[in-house]
Amino acid sequence: MRFYFQLSGPSPVSFTLSPSNHAEVPVNKLIGVLAGFLVISSAIADQNDFRCLKSIGLKSPLKLQFVIQTDKDDSGYVIYRGGSGPISIKRLEEKELTRAPGGRPSEFETQWGEITSDGTGGTYVFVSQGALIDDFRYVRKDGKTFRFEEDPDASTDKGCEWATK
């Protein structure tokens, strides 16, 4: 299929892109479609991998959104319900715990450190196999550990949404 440009319309900057069968496709519509595609593609690329989690065994449960940035998979952030804002995290270590037979995903333990200005940040540790999180915990600098489980009811398309019950 061959394309050629043909001047059309009252303005000299208005062009029409025409295939060889002479069905006319305005260039401005073509550019609009391409621009829309690029916007959608970049919006998809800006989406991050997140998990909604709630603490186990506390009278007043903690809830957090754990986010791994898709464009930099060694960094992310954590947002606590009622917190003052996102806390930056960086992947510290990842190790394979169990190699699964038959093409199943292996089990990994990943450690993420909080990046704080005063160095008091703790460590998030989670064990996962594919998309499943088997264990998730937060270890403060003083050694106190908080265990979490996934909170699928809090998950929306755009992040975690916690409702007070």
**Which has the closest alpha carbon to 115: 105, 127, 124, 125?**
124
What phi, psi does 2 have (nearest 5°)?
Answer: -110, 145
Q: Residue with structure tokens 């000299």?
A: 12
- Confidence (pTM): 0.67
- pLDDT mean across residues, the chain: 76
Higher pLDDT: 12 or 142? It is 142
pLDDT at 28: 52
Tell me the pLDDT tens digit for each residue of 32-56: 443 443 333 333 334 568 899 999 9
Under DSSP, the state recorded for 130 is T
Q: What is the pLDDT of residue 87?
A: 94
Looking at residue 30, its pLDDT comes to: 40
pLDDT tens, residue by residue, 99-133: 878 878 889 999 999 998 888 899 999 999 888 88
pLDDT bracket for residue 14 (50, 70, 90):
very low
Write down the domain spans for the chain.
3-46, 49-160
Higher model confidence: residue 93 or residue 39? Answer: 93
Tokens read off for 71: 């464009």
For the segment 143-160, the average pLDDT, to the nearest whole number, is 91
pLDDT digits (tens, 9 = 90+) for 65-86: 999 988 888 999 999 999 989 9
